[in-house]
Amino acid sequence: MKKKIIAVILTAALAVSVCACSSKAAETTAAEAETIQAISAETVPETEESSSEAAATEESESESNSVSDTSAAETTAAAASSVDEAALKLYQDAMAKTAAAGAMNTTTKMELTTNDQSVSIDMQMITVPSGDDGKLAAKGTLASNGVSMDVEYYYTDGFYYTNAMGQKAKAASTYAEAVADSNMADAFNLGDVTSDSFNSMTAQAQADGTTLITAVFSMEDDTETAEGKVEVLVDKDGYAIRQSIQLQASTVENNTEINTSADMTLTVNAYGDNVKIELPDLSDYAAESTETETETSAAQ
């Protein structure tokens, strides 16, 4: 389960950085992909053949191995017991409540580094869902290996607007598609978190009425290691108003060591009825058209 959490973090962070930085980030993704593949390998279900081999091996195991299995099970149980059930319940409830809040104003900061390749994102996003009448506004800075660019994304009235370094375009879209293309929050969705997901989890009440949940995870085998921390700040109304993830991972592929680090923070500035959105004048955004391209090709 810990491997699954680590794979989810890396996969989501990489997906967000690729979508955000487009071709710039695409040049930096090969090493990340190898790391993700290695770390997530054990989350793939066993084939029928491998299951049969495992069963045969089990039948031939000695009594001493049974004792070792018992010891390992006791160790696993001890590790699981360090996850405070009240903290886990608070985490699960806060994530569910925040996801159902509707309108959201968030700021995302992300740093993703693999060996000598790096991607960073600093983005503020406002989403106001209302079917295809929803609205979206996002503005920030993206950087890949030190080369940065300012970007803006908007959605309103059936069109998705993009502005990358002054290059403005619009295309027909649904609200759901626009959010999926630009939303940073997916990087913080760890899926179905249980007590087996972390080595430890605690909750500490803060002086301002919020509660800080801290969870630690780690794993190690012959070819890979990973460790990290997840922090979630829950306000007095039960919403997750800040989420942060730090991860350090190392794996060996073809005798090459790949080191990956991720540092991500999502801050909720406002949610629900407190969210206000204002869109700029979008009249100078040019519509993307395949018709013009077809006519040009035909003329040639």
Q: Give the pLDDT score at 114.
A: 87
Q: Cβ–Cβ contacts within 10 Å for residue 27, how many? A: 11
The separation between CA 93 and the C-alpha centre of its own chain, rounded to angstroms, equals: 19
Q: Give the pLDDT score at 226.
A: 85
Tens place of pLDDT per residue across the chain (300 aa): 555 555 555 555 555 555 555 433 333 344 444 444 444 444 434 444 444 444 554 554 544 454 444 444 444 444 445 989 999 999 999 999 998 999 999 999 999 998 888 999 999 999 999 877 899 999 999 998 889 999 999 999 999 999 998 899 999 999 989 988 876 666 666 767 788 888 999 999 999 999 999 999 888 877 788 899 999 999 999 999 999 999 998 988 888 888 989 999 999 999 999 999 999 999 999 886 654 444 444 554
Sheet containing strand 224-234, strands side by side: 200-205, 211-220, 224-234, 240-253, 256-271, 104-114, 117-128, 135-144, 147-156, 159-164, 167-172, 286-287
Cα angle 201-206-210, degrees, rounded to a multiple of 5: 85
Q: Give the pLDDT score at 286.
A: 86
Supply 189's token pair: 């969705």
Residue (of 213, 261, 215) closest to 241 by Cα position? 213
Q: Give the pLDDT score at 16.
A: 53
Residue (of 37, 43, 97, 78) closest to 238 by Cα position? 97
- Assess if CATH 2.50.20 describes domain 2-43+78-287: yes
Cα angle 291-297-299, degrees, rounded to a multiple of 5: 105
Q: Give the pLDDT score at 245.
A: 92
Three-state SS annotation for 128-175? ECECECCEEEEEEEEEECCEEEEEEEEEECCEEEEEECCEEEEEECCH
Rounded to whole angstroms, the Cα distance separating 134 from 117 reads: 36
Q: Give the pLDDT score at 72.
A: 47
CB 245 within 8 A of CB 26: no
Interacting residues of 250 by C-beta distance below 8 A, sequence separation 6+: 224, 225, 226, 257, 258, 259, 260
Q: Give the pLDDT score at 13.
A: 55
